[in-house]
């Protein structure tokens, strides 16, 4: 089978982002093991530069541009973490970045994106056509549009998460039974599962989505790319994508990944558990895989399970609200 990316692309991305991205550890916490009754390893990408895995793909993508392309700048569309990843990578590489963000994006993500030196253009995601906004922003600048997930360099960059998990588990002499990865458009999931499947062919993989954004779950059942229902909403702002990409989906499908969904309440409870019991700050979309475990949606007893905490860029007010609420 031939996909948009190979293991060589992921290994090349690992070399490319070395020194720029944080080599996050693989954590095991007794409080989580006790809570779910199984052995769980956590890949904390909330500890990544910009607070989410997105920096990996963005840096891999931007650092491959030619000097001429770099001089013309980059444009990205994102509600938050991809925005920050592209903005920060651009800043480090000396590239002008324009980021188009929905006007209801989390304030922290807007502020962070601007703090990395990017120009932020706002649009109304419910009433404005994104393609129109895109055309207007790119104009005749010749800027390169950096897609959030459906791009080989982006996918390979996110795949380094899987490469690192595999490396650390092998050093511990362990073979994981299953891994749960949060899933929006499938950039992280496709890259990570490709790398993990290569290292551990018998491992089961789960793509975790918000309940109303269960397009990948449905797609994996039907075998074709399904779309999110019109009007879907979720507190997991990092996972609000209309559908998987035509480059990401075939990987998830062929490896035999299964879909799991979590409610907003389950995601918020996971944010609280992560903060109070694991001492890790996550955002709702970053805690979806943890939520699936805590809600008992996947059997963990007697198994070695891995989850990716994909991001921690939660609004301070929402974090305060999550931890302030009684259990």
Stretch that binds a second copy, among 5-13, 120-128, 150-158, 280-288 (CB under 8 A): 280-288
- Kindly state the DSSP code that residue 229 receives in the 8-state scheme: P
Q: Is 142 a residue that touches a second copy (CB under 8 A)?
A: no
> Do 147 and 244 form a contact (C-beta atoms < 8 A)?
no
Residue environment code for 242-252, b if the CB has 16+ CB neighbours within 10 A, otherwise e: ebbbebbbbbb
Q: 66 CB contacts (<8 Å, ≥6 apart)?
A: none
Q: Is 108 a residue that touches a second copy (CB under 8 A)?
A: yes
Interface residue with a second copy, options 49, 54, 56, 61 (CB under 8 A): 49
Q: Is 138 a residue that touches a second copy (CB under 8 A)?
A: no
Tokens encoding 281: 């700050």
Q: Is 279 a residue that touches a second copy (CB under 8 A)?
A: yes
Interface residue with a second copy, options 163, 181, 281, 288 (CB under 8 A): 281
Q: Is 107 a residue that touches a second copy (CB under 8 A)?
A: no
Stretch that binds a second copy, among 10-18, 20-28, 128-136, 184-192 (CB under 8 A): 20-28
Give the residue with the Cβ less far from a second copy, 52 or 255.
52
Interface residue with a second copy, options 278, 288, 304, 308 (CB under 8 A): 278
CA 262 to chain centre: 16
CB of 79 to a second copy, least distance (A): 19
Task: Using alpha carbons, list the distances in angstroms from residue 211 to 115, 206, 250.
Answer: 33, 14, 22
Separation between Cα atoms, residue 86 and residue 325, nearest integer Å: 34
CA 196 to chain centre: 16
Stretch that binds a second copy, among 43-51, 69-77, 78-86, 154-162 (CB under 8 A): 43-51
Instruction: Assign 207 to helix, strand or coil.
Output: strand
For residues 243, 244, 245, 251, the Cα torsion angle rounded to the nearest 10 degrees is: -160
Separation between Cα atoms, residue 141 and residue 72, nearest integer Å: 7
Interface residue with a second copy, options 3, 6, 7, 29 (CB under 8 A): 29
Q: Is 282 a residue that touches a second copy (CB under 8 A)?
A: yes
CB of 286 to a second copy, least distance (A): 9
Separation between Cα atoms, residue 226 and residue 229, nearest integer Å: 9
Cα angle: 228, vertex 233, 234; to 5 degrees: 110
Instruction: Assign 296 to helix, strand or coil.
Output: coil
Q: Is 280 a residue that touches a second copy (CB under 8 A)?
A: yes
CB of 49 to a second copy, least distance (A): 5
Q: Is 37 a residue that touches a second copy (CB under 8 A)?
A: no
Instruction: Assign 77 to helix, strand or coil.
Output: strand
Q: Is 51 a residue that touches a second copy (CB under 8 A)?
A: yes
Judged by CB under 8 A, the chain residues 304 through 323 that form the site for a second copy are 312, 316-317, 319-321, 323
Interface residue with a second copy, options 7, 27, 93, 174 (CB under 8 A): 27
State the residues that interact with a second copy by CB under 8 A.
22, 25, 27-31, 44, 46-47, 49, 51, 108, 272, 275-282, 312, 316-317, 319-321, 323-324
């Amino acid at each position: 089978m031939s996909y948009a990316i190979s293991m060589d692309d992921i290994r090349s991305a690992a070399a490319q982002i070395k020194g720029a991205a944080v080599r996050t550890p693989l954590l095991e916490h007794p409080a989580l093991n006790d809570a779910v009754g199984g052995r769980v390893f956590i890949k904390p990408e909330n500890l990544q530069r910009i607070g989410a895995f997105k920096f990996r793909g963005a840096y891999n993508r931007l650092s491959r541009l030619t000097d001429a392309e770099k001089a013309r700048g980059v444009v990205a569309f994102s509600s938050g973490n991809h925005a920050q990843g592209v903005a920060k990578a651009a800043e480090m590489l000396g590239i002008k970045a324009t980021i188009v963000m929905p006007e209801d994006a989390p304030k922290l993500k807007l502020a962070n994106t601007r703090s990395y030196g990017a120009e932020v253009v706002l649009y109304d995601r419910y009433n404005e056509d994104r393609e129109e906004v895109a055309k207007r922003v790119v104009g005749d600048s010749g800027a390169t549009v950096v897609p959030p997930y459906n791009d080989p360099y982006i996918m390979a960059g996110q795949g380094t998460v899987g490469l690192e998990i595999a490396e650390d588990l092998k050093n511990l002499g362990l073979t994981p039974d299953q891994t749960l990865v949060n899933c929006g458009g499938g950039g992280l999931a496709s890259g990570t599962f490709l790398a993990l499947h290569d290292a551990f062919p018998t491992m089961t993989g789960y793509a975790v989505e918000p309940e109303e954004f269960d397009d990948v779950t449905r797609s994996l059942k039907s075998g074709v790319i399904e779309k999110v229902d019109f009007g879907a909403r979720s507190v997991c702002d990092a996972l609000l994508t209309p559908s998987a990409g035509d480059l990401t989906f075939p990987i998830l499908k062929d490896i035999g990944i299964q879909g799991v969904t979590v409610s907003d309440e389950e995601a918020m409870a996971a944010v609280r558990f992560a903060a109070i019991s694991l001492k890790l700050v996550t955002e709702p979309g970053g805690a979806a895989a943890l939520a699936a475990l805590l809600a008992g949606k996947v059997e963990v007893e007697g198994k070695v399970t891995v989850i990716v905490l994909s991001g921690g860029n939660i609004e301070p007010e929402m974090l305060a609200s999550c931890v302030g609420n009684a259990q």
